Chain A
């Protein structure tokens, strides 16, 4: 496996490697790991049709090479033959999809998500589906029905959640880049724990068609990779409004993503750090130290950093959970065992069928969230909690947008702590929910944010620490340019291990 998409594409063009070899290599690594003592459990399954798709790509490359048009071919299909890891809640036609849940055992997606078909149109090869917290609910990928995913940097640690499998697959060099999804930070958090770049785009920039919904108004597909360029390229292939998703939107300036340039003029860059994030009690000192060095880097480059007061952020976790869980309870209603997935039927009528199917199919964390969501929505409260959550969200959106009239960037850690050990927080849901405290405002405000690997935490065997650059809506290109400038100066902070 090569380290970056750019390297891989060069090798494919020259015929130094074939897409089929890349796929076989990944499958072997996956099988070997599975047979090992402490498997990563990054992938749940390699797609059966991955090899044939890779072979089709190889044929195209070979023919183009023979006729001397391989560069022109890659102009059209910039990801031709490049394998990528998918998350288990993004439909890939003809392949199984379980969302990390027993409830969807045996379900085969009859259609592809728009993000998948757009990547395939660009020539990329879907390699397999990655483990995740069940229905994307969790911050450590320990709530999967198919076992936890270990962190490749140190297998005692969690990989972050809910897209932990997608992060581990890239960090362990089992795939070049991966797709994840997030509702409150589930791409940035595992990217941070695994030392990767992880982008959560502006809400709507990547179509949600075919992506199993958790909290629809917050959900967003995200990308993880070793370098900002490895995110920019897939992003440019996937972005843009989709007629199948009413909430999707075009990404202005997306043409600059294909040839990403590092950000240059820092002197006009104004950065805001919300006071509320500095005063957090749970902020780990190692994370704080990396935060300081990140600030210093920006200042040395000539940027202006100011601490701002954004009191509405204090309500973001509460607003987030009210909205996310309300929508989750609603979205998960369709999993009733009637049309697909697992059905537990004792022949005692519908009510029993639903009860048994859902009781046995859903794990404890999902049940907890469904119950809270339905409680919030129930008419006994005349939906007032839900309405309150919605109005707080509107305020967050407004105040964050207002902040961006004066500043270019919000800078803060991605998570108050580095990765924790497996099993450490699994019985403490509240503690787990707080992992999201720096990330959820981004989803509530619908803005883009990228996790950059920024350092290591001595206190946790040197696990990676990530910082996030959050920009105003549709500022993806600028964020990736900034991340590239950071990468050029830091080289992944020495986190990922090159083979």
Chain B
């Protein structure tokens, strides 16, 4: 018996915390950290008699996420209860959406250039099982499409802290935080793709301001469902599915899926566990030992006993909310990159950096709007502004100058009102004082003299003051032109337009 080949099959469930002001079903503030159990109330503690009520903006943010991941938004939906016992769960059930999720049938296109070369396109490896045709290969292999089965709304649970020995402590500050759960089809074929999926989703959802996407703060975590298709002596086998829970970094997804794939292959070779569609093993990832650990075996079938949440009326999602959500989505990062490249002729690298966040991209385009040289606008932002921000550990949202400041600065240089070198001085002053470049240039007396009459009177004076230079020129020493120019610049305090002045000096000398 010989294994001919095998394929990895991965589907993801991503939990993301939403940026609502309050928790999902109560008025407690939705924020990370703080003294344990300080942001709690009867509702999120599940006290007797407490009832949930949907927080403002919760459903809309879910719809924004749905639009951003190309889903259909339900016009009518409801909440359900999912039951299990665990101390971090205050009510013995979690409020979630079971059979009518808010969003369905979406997709995310993964940029293939971010994957290792050998995984980028072509070949069977790229084609997920059960996928109709080659629809998953978008734009000649530039993108790989991962289908999103559903996105539903769900409340988070509390956080337990197990101390060595006898005690466990629970912080319910996180209990009731609004989440969305994004469930994909098993369309990913490598650990790298799974990690890229999460990265792409993080970028998109941050872009549309659905979430902070902060992995360290648990804003996003991923459960990966993984198994293998194995061909042995021409016959196809499926290994049992493992669900690896709570992967909260791209590296952990890669590591855990790689490890689990190898473990399943080994298990297949050793004892050929049969595939059973209804059951899966629940695993955890031990990041210290770098291995997956069984949490629940497939024999312990979990029955969540779903019931319609009777404390919240089933509700209509208005067309108004849906179109408002769509408006909030706007242009997504990948589309924006493509457009910026085409529209402004910027490099891949420039575009990549300028679209890191939506706010930066918007800021850039605002500055570019009336600029005479868009490339220069990009350069000023990338080389100068971002350097300052990075140093101060700030983002574009902390900047006090407006995009118009950059526009004016770039235009002043393009119009040769100031030199590039002067531009740097103006830039520094501008950040310091928030004054517009034109104001700074005037105040500092920096504007170049381009007025022909004014230049001429300076040139005439310099020539009159330096008769020796004039006679040297007549004697054939043409390099005195340069020296005389230096004198003109000096006399003008560096303000004359150098090109016009040089021309004039040469013309005067020649005519003498």
Residues of chain A touching chain B, judged by Cβ–Cβ distance below 8 Å, are 89-91, 97, 99, 104, 107, 109-111, 113, 208-213, 215-217, 243-247, 326-327, 329-330, 332-336, 338-340, 347, 350-351, 354, 374, 377-380, 383, 386, 390
Indicate if the CB atoms of A244 and B92 lie closer than 8 Å.
no
- Interface-located stretch among B6-14, B49-57, B217-225: B49-57
Known: A330-B92, A336-B87, A340-B48. 8 other contacts (CB 8 A): A97-B49, A210-B49, A247-B310, A330-B305, A333-B91, A334-B48, A374-B305, A380-B303
- Distance of A336 Cα from B91 Cα, bound (Å): 9
Indicate if the CB atoms of B46 and A339 lie closer than 8 Å.
yes
B349 close to chain A: CB less than 8 A: no
Indicate if the CB atoms of A334 and B90 lie closer than 8 Å.
yes
| Given A216-B311, A377-B305, A246 and B42 contact (CB-CB distance below 8 Å) | no
- Distance of A113 Cα from B91 Cα, bound (Å): 18
**What's the nearest-Cβ distance from chain B to residue A420, in Å?**
31
Residues of chain B touching chain A, judged by Cβ–Cβ distance below 8 Å, are 42, 45-54, 81, 83, 85-87, 90-93, 166, 170, 303-308, 310-313
User: Residue A216 contacts which of B54, B92, B310 (CB distance < 8 angstroms)?
Assistant: B310
Indicate if the CB atoms of B83 and A244 lie closer than 8 Å.
no
Indicate if the CB atoms of A379 and B304 lie closer than 8 Å.
yes
Note all chain B residues with C-beta closer than 8 A to A97: 48-49
User: Residue B313 contacts which of A211, A246, A380, A383 (CB distance < 8 angstroms)?
Assistant: A246
| Given A211-B49, A212-B49, A327-B307, A110 and B54 contact (CB-CB distance below 8 Å) | no
Majority secondary structure, A binding face:
loop
Indicate if the CB atoms of A246 and B83 lie closer than 8 Å.
no
Note all chain A residues with C-beta closer than 8 A to B312: 246-247
Indicate if the CB atoms of A247 and B91 lie closer than 8 Å.
no
| Given A216-B311, A377-B305, A336 and B85 contact (CB-CB distance below 8 Å) | yes
A204's nearest neighbour on chain B, judged by CB, is B313
User: Residue A110 contacts which of B42, B51, B81, B304 (CB distance < 8 angstroms)?
Assistant: B42
A-B CB proximity, top 9 nearest:
A333-B92, A216-B310, A217-B310, A377-B305, A210-B49, A334-B91, A212-B48, A334-B46, A379-B303
**What's the nearest-Cβ distance from chain B to residue A484, in Å?**
32
Note all chain B residues with C-beta closer than 8 A to A104: 48
| Given A97-B48, A245-B51, A378 and B305 contact (CB-CB distance below 8 Å) | yes
B26's nearest neighbour on chain A, judged by CB, is A244
User: Residue B311 contacts which of A247, A351, A377, A383 (CB distance < 8 angstroms)?
Assistant: A247
- Distance of A216 Cα from B313 Cα, bound (Å): 11
Can you list 12 A-B contacts with CB-CB less than 8 angstroms, sorted by A residue number? A91-B48, A110-B47, A111-B42, A208-B311, A245-B311, A326-B307, A334-B91, A336-B92, A339-B46, A374-B305, A379-B303, A379-B305
- Distance of A383 Cα from B308 Cα, bound (Å): 11
Indicate if the CB atoms of A246 and B307 lie closer than 8 Å.
no
- Distance of A383 Cα from B83 Cα, bound (Å): 13
- Distance of A208 Cα from B43 Cα, bound (Å): 13
- Distance of A46 Cα from B444 Cα, bound (Å): 83
A135's nearest neighbour on chain B, judged by CB, is B48
- Distance of A213 Cα from B90 Cα, bound (Å): 15
Note all chain A residues with C-beta closer than 8 A to B86: 350
Indicate if the CB atoms of B303 and A330 lie closer than 8 Å.
no
